[in-house]
Amino acid sequence: MKYRNLGRTGIEVSPYCLGAMMFGAMGNPDHDDSIRIIHKALDAGINFVDTADVYSAGESEVILGKALKGRRDNVVLASKLHYPMGDDPNHRGNSRRWITTAVENSLRRLQTDHLDLYQVHRPDPSVDLEETLSALSDLIHSGKVRAVGASSFPASEIVEAQWVAERRGLERFRTEQPPYSIINRSIEREVLPVCQRYGMGTLVWSPLGQGLLTGRYRKGQEFDGHRSGHTPQHFADERKLDVVEQLIPLAEQAGLPMTHLAMAFAIAHPGVTSAIIGPRTMAQLDDLLAGVDVTLTDDILDRIDEIAPPGTDAGPNDVAYVPPAISSVGLRRRTLPERSAA
């Protein structure tokens, strides 16, 4: 497996990153089976593993901690914080108070004394970026974290974080983890160019389009509801399914499974360091590993561009970050006080 530089960190990682979201109650609750999947991925040359405290309420990290015993030094281990970890209102977000607690919890579950990459899972408009970066900088200086990154940040907030770090003498985000696939290409407009400009590594999530780019979901099929975390609207979105229907014959002409076409596309962009795979079963991992060396020709990439134009989304990404300016009605409507009569 050919390794790539993770931005300018000096860390080399595999083009596939093993995502651990499906290990635990959210996907595969069998710890022994999940550990076998992790070991097979490592044996195949994948040296980059990504998880988060929120995945199965910490169970994913616990499973990884078991799996990495005796192998930790050969793994670039990443985790994330931000989402609620219980009912306490302060056990969430990007505050210094929570960051310093959350990292200790993750280290304990993972049975390690440091993380190679610690990421802010989503932006937190209620917290100054300076506070977040200051707390993360302290983790680097203490040796508990080697590098820090962000996930699903808009391009403007990536730039702002770089400026804050420079002006305040703080450690800066070295990576970004955005969604990216043939059906969701909007990060090509600004996020990927900004990351390249600042020398940031990118580990993209959902390269299989949240399951649509496996080819198992077709127009006219009834959604059976078995995929937790994804809505019926996602699998019934006509815009996305139209793209899928055009990609299936293209993959057949290229002699590739849909999964291999989708993964090869995701890691072909020069701004992408690694694409996150999230197998729940050994069969899924085997399928993805079989395509790790697939390279798409310019003709195939040109045809993909015709089907799904660069920089565009075929339909909304159901689980992507939606900024408050869009999600909050109150931030989009001006309420004017009534004027008294003169």
Q: Which residue in this structure is represented by tokens 């977000």? A: 93
55 belongs to the catalytic site = yes
Per DSSP, which regions of the chain are E strands? 4-5, 12-13, 16-19, 48-50, 76-81, 117-120, 148-151, 175-177, 201-204, 274-277
- For the stretch 186-221, pLDDT in tens is 999 999 999 999 999 999 999 999 999 998 888 777
Taken in order 308, 314, 318, 319, is the CA torsion positive or negative?
positive
Marked catalytic residue, from 55, 118, 180, 217: 55
The pLDDT value recorded for residue 225 is 53
| pLDDT by residue, tens only, the chain of 342 residues | 899 999 999 999 999 999 999 999 999 999 999 999 999 999 999 999 999 999 999 999 999 999 999 999 999 999 999 999 999 999 999 999 999 999 999 999 999 999 999 999 999 999 999 999 999 999 999 999 999 999 999 999 999 999 999 999 999 999 999 999 999 999 999 999 999 999 999 999 999 999 999 988 887 776 665 544 555 667 778 899 999 999 999 999 999 999 999 999 999 999 999 999 999 999 999 999 999 999 999 999 999 999 999 999 998 887 889 889 888 998 888 876 666 655
Tens digit of each residue's pLDDT (9 = 90 or more) over 221-277: 766 655 445 556 677 788 999 999 999 999 999 999 999 999 999 999 999 999 999
**C-beta of residue 308 within 8 angstroms of C-beta of residue 261:** no
Strand-pairing partners, residue 150, are 120, 176
pTM for the model: 0.93
- CB 95: neighbour CB atoms within 10 A? 18
Largest separation between any pair of C-alpha atoms in the chain: 80
Q: Which of 82, 74, 77 is nearest to 63 (CA)?
A: 77
4-331 CATH: 3.20.20.100
Domain ranges of the chain: 4-331
Dihedral sign of CA atoms 296, 75, 70, 23 in order: negative
